């Protein structure tokens, strides 16, 4: 009876892990970013005869995931424009490019060759770890399904081990992404370049999207399911002997 309850919760946690990990992998909202540049102010005259300067700001919005990095433009009049466009009012016309080896915001124009190549290698490892994590959780799920109710302790152990491997690799993915945006100086270098070469009032803001937030939830359920499946496999092995 206790083993059946453990198997139920392990299966539930494993299914939730697979759902959240696949959502994180398949959606392109790991990063939400907006670039703005304040153009020359427009002068308007109030009814009292006072000249009011209204500065227009050109805004470019980005969202990025494993597969795609998309951008679209607009003019900002609201501090929460980024979130509003993301949830409810994204334009149909936007420019998208493959994001596998092109980490935001590194490019040939903003970084030297060494920094660019280093960023490509970093992004390459990030992508490989992501693929290993997703493949491991899918393969682990197949192993658990094939194990049937307490039929093979080896398959339970193999499935549990794959869930743990998936959780650990995806944990590395999340940590690498946070380090890229918060610790390394790629964003600062990009802002400095844009201010010196394009716009002195250039501003860049970034937020973590839902795809990023799905990942830690999937990792938690993945590790929990993996430990439970290993425990179930060990218990079934003891009962068999």
Give yes or no for residue 174 having a pLDDT over 90. Answer: yes
The CA distance from 15 to 113, in Å, is 43
Question: What is the pLDDT at residue 91?
Answer: 62
The percent of residues above 90 in pLDDT, for the chain, comes to: 34
The residues near 169 (Cβ < 8 Å, ≥ 6 apart) are 129, 130, 132, 133, 136
CB-side neighbour CA atoms (13 Å) of 129: 18
Q: Is the peptide bond before 105 cis (omega within 30 degrees of 0)?
A: yes
For residue 95, pLDDT over 70 is answered with: yes
**How many domains does the chain contain in total?**
1
State the first-to-last Cα distance of the chain, in angstroms, to the nearest integer: 19
Residues in contact with 80: Cβ distance below 8 Å, sequence separation at least 6, in sequence order: none
CA distance 135 to 222: 13
- Give 19's pLDDT tier (boundaries 50, 70, 90): very high
Which has more pLDDT, 188 or 214? 214
Give the rounded distance of the alpha carbon of 14 from its chain centre.
20
Q: Which residue range forms the structural domain that includes residue 168?
A: 2-240
State pTM to two decimals.
0.84
Joined together, the tokens standing for residue 212 give 């990023």
**Closest-CA residue to 97 (of 177, 173, 187, 28):** 28
Q: What is the DSSP string of 32-64?
A: EEEEEEE-PPEEEE-TTS-EEEE--EEEEEEEE
pLDDT in tens, 27-63: 888 988 888 887 665 545 445 555 455 555 678 888 8
pLDDT digits (tens, 9 = 90+) for 212-233: 999 999 999 999 999 999 999 8
- CATH (domain of 83): 1.20.140.150
Q: What is the pLDDT of residues 126-162, one digit of tens each?
A: 999 999 999 999 999 999 988 767 677 888 999 999 9
């Amino acid at each position: 009876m206790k083993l059946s309850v453990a198997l139920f919760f392990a299966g539930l946690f494993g299914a939730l892990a697979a759902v959240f990990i696949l959502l994180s992998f398949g959606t392109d909202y790991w990063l939400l970013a907006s670039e703005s540049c304040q153009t020359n102010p427009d002068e308007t005259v109030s009814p009292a005869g006072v000249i009011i300067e209204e500065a227009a700001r050109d805004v470019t919005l980005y969202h990025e995931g494993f597969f795609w990095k998309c951008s679209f433009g607009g003019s900002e009049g609201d501090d929460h424009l980024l979130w509003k466009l993301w949830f409810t009012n994204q334009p149909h016309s936007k420019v998208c490019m493959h994001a596998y080896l092109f980490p935001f915001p590194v490019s040939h124009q903003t970084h030297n060759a060494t920094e660019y190549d280093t960023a490509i290698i970093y992004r390459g490892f990030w992508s490989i770890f992501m693929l290993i994590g997703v493949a491991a959780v899918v393969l682990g799920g197949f192993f658990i399904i094939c194990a049937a109710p307490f039929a093979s302790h080896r398959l339970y152990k193999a499935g549990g081990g794959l869930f743990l491997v998936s959780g650990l690799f995806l944990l590395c993915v999340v940590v690498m992404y946070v380090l890229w945006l918060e610790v390394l100086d790629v964003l600062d270098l990009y802002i400095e370049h844009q201010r010196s070469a394009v716009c002195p009032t250039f501003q860049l803001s970034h937020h973590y999207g839902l795809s990023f937030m799905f990942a830690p939830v999937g990792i938690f359920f993945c590790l929990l399911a993996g430990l439970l499946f290993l425990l179930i496999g060990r218990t079934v092995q003891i009962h068999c002997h």
